Amino acid sequence: MEHLIIAPILIPAFAGMLLLLEVRERQRLRRFTGLLATLALIPVALGLWQQAATGEIGVYQLGDWRAPFGIVLVLDRLSALMVLLTAVLALPALIYGSRGDDRRGANFHGLFQLQLMGINGAFLTGDLFNLFVFFEVLLIASYGLALHGRGPARVKGGIHYVVLNLIGSALFLVALGLAYGTTGTLNMADFAVKVSELEGNSLDLARLSGLLMWVVFGLKAALFPLYFWLPATYASATAPVAALFAIMTKVGIYAIARVYGLAFSGGALAGLGRDPLWVIALITLGLAAVGVLGARRLGEMVAYLLVMSVGTLMAGLAWSSPEALGAMLYYLIHSTLVCGGLFLLADLVTRGRGELADRLEAGPSPTGRGVLGVLFFAGAIAVVGLPPLSGFVGKVALMQAVPAPLYWLFLLGGGLIALIGLSRAGSTLFWRATGDGEERRLDGPRLAATVALLATTPALAIWGEPVLEACLAVAGQWSQPGLYIDAVLGAGESAL
């Protein structure tokens, strides 16, 4: 069982390799492999969560080299939570994708698995450079996935996404160079210890390193003014891909939480970038709400809702109390799953509307209007934070934890604007239908996948208390970086 920590990386990795080996395009075999691997992630992630829930931080020394010299994987509550969330999101997305979207281009299943490998790796690694490597793994896979399918819009969105992220990767390398060049280490825990002892030039350079990483993570997380690429890219991506991408921005958020909660948690650099993060988070939140209102396609609207959630979360992160982080994590779970579900839903809507696709214009009614309408209504309620679904619980938790009038204003105001946008969209799509759409029935598994994701929102509300408690436990551990450092470097190393 000691190897369980690395399983979330290796399972998709090997699945991806096997899929790569399968050259005869036996689609059913591919689907089976992909689904099996993704399914396997869920018990693994649950096992890891259970392991982490004990409060003990698991450390896996790759190559049997001890930290800080070798690379370590670290399983604390935060990483376990993120891995679990990824698994829960990925399965429905893949089921949806296995109903035909996977045929719209080559290598869908392989890329999907390797994307999961990258995401899980990024969540689990305890090493700064290894984080970069896993970022690249998940990025390159996401490039491939974002471009899965055809169409100029997708290519254009893809080009923008790729170029920006390549520049981001370059910046990340500069930041890593500075990190290593000042502290002489790459292990996050060791870095945390060493960075708190820096002074003079090295301290200034380490600060620059932190700020540059901050920009990089901000780009991944899609913060103002670095989110502009996201709506087009996500809206044009194939639905299951867009759904999976709901976790991608969260990787950026996770990275900020991890790096700033751990690596830059001590010494003169504690709280680095927190104030600007606060401001930027609010601007992101506000502008994304405006984007929701101004969106002219459903997919684009959902993408903006995703950006809104980023703003919401980042503000919670910037507040950086354990309570705020706990509330933020709850909201993170909620927004990831709901936005993922909404991306799928947008696609289901698109399917029945022919040429009009997901444009928010009156047109033929989507196939399965009744069911989709109910799902849309529920999703909209959840995502804008109206009761009784998880969005409300998350929002209340955040507001209680972050008692800042400005935040409340943005959170509630943004919610209202989004509500207006969504009510317009919903009434156009489901009420203003000018006739029946294509006759085809809704595809069962597709619908089931969508329902599965959206059904998490009542579940998260009903079992809100245990989930919140778990999130608070995660946050509690997170806010004591010393625990992490001791676990990685051995007790007594930490001065924090």
Q: Residue 56 or residue 197: which is nearer to another protein going by CB? A: 197
**404 scored as a contact of another protein (CB under 8 A):** no
Cα–Cα dist 173/171, whole Å = 5
**107 scored as a contact of another protein (CB under 8 A):** yes
By CB under 8 A, the residues from 118 to 147 that bind another protein are 121, 129-130, 133-134, 136-137, 140-141, 143-144, 147
**117 scored as a contact of another protein (CB under 8 A):** yes
Q: State the minimum distance, in angstroms, from the CB of residue 138 to another protein.
A: 9
- The three-class DSSP label of residue 358 is coil
Q: State the minimum distance, in angstroms, from the CB of residue 397 to another protein.
A: 6
**62 scored as a contact of another protein (CB under 8 A):** yes
Stretch that binds another protein, among 27-35, 108-116, 348-356, 488-496 (CB under 8 A): 108-116
If DSSP states are collapsed to H, E and C, what string results for 247-291? Answer: CHHHHHHHHHHHHHHHHCCCHHHCCCCHHHHHHHHHHHHHHHHHH
**53 scored as a contact of another protein (CB under 8 A):** no
Pairing of strands 364-365, 435-436: parallel
Stretch that binds another protein, among 176-184, 238-246, 252-260, 344-352 (CB under 8 A): 176-184
**337, exposed or middle or buried, with CB in 10 Å at 0-12, 13-18, 19+?**
buried
**Is the peptide bond between 388 and the residue preceding it cis, with omega within 30 degrees of 0?**
yes
Position among 1, 54, 64, 444 found at the interface with another protein (CB under 8 A): 64
By CB under 8 A, the residues from 412 to 441 that bind another protein are 412-413, 415-417, 419-421, 423-424, 427, 430-432
By CB under 8 A, the residues from 342 to 401 that bind another protein are 359, 377, 381, 386-388, 392-393, 396-397, 399-400
**4 scored as a contact of another protein (CB under 8 A):** no
Neighbours of 49 (CB within 10 A): 20
The one-letter code for the residue type at 317 is L
Stretch that binds another protein, among 74-82, 156-164, 262-270, 308-316 (CB under 8 A): 156-164
Stretch that binds another protein, among 38-46, 166-174, 333-341, 482-490 (CB under 8 A): 166-174
**449 scored as a contact of another protein (CB under 8 A):** no
Q: How far is CA 123 from the centre of its chain?
A: 11
Residue 48 phi/psi, 5° resolution?
Answer: -65, -40
Alpha helices (runs of H) in 295-321, residue ranges in sequence order: 298-319
Q: Residue 234 or residue 254: which is nearer to another protein going by CB? A: 234
Q: Residue 55 or residue 413: which is nearer to another protein going by CB? A: 413
Applying CB under 8 A, the site for another protein has a residue count of: 136
Stretch that binds another protein, among 160-168, 252-260, 347-355, 442-450 (CB under 8 A): 160-168
By CB under 8 A, the residues from 193 to 212 that bind another protein are 200-202, 204-205, 207-208, 211-212
Residues 6+ positions from 399 with CB-CB distance below 8 Å: 407, 408, 411
By CB under 8 A, the residues from 23 to 42 that bind another protein are 23
**166 scored as a contact of another protein (CB under 8 A):** yes
Q: The tokens 């809206």 sit on which residue?
A: 235
Residues 6+ positions from 495 with CB-CB distance below 8 Å: 193, 196, 266
SS3 content of the chain, % helix, strand, coil (to 5): 75, 5, 20
> Of 254, 381, 56, which Cα lies nearest the Cα of 48?
56
**271 scored as a contact of another protein (CB under 8 A):** no
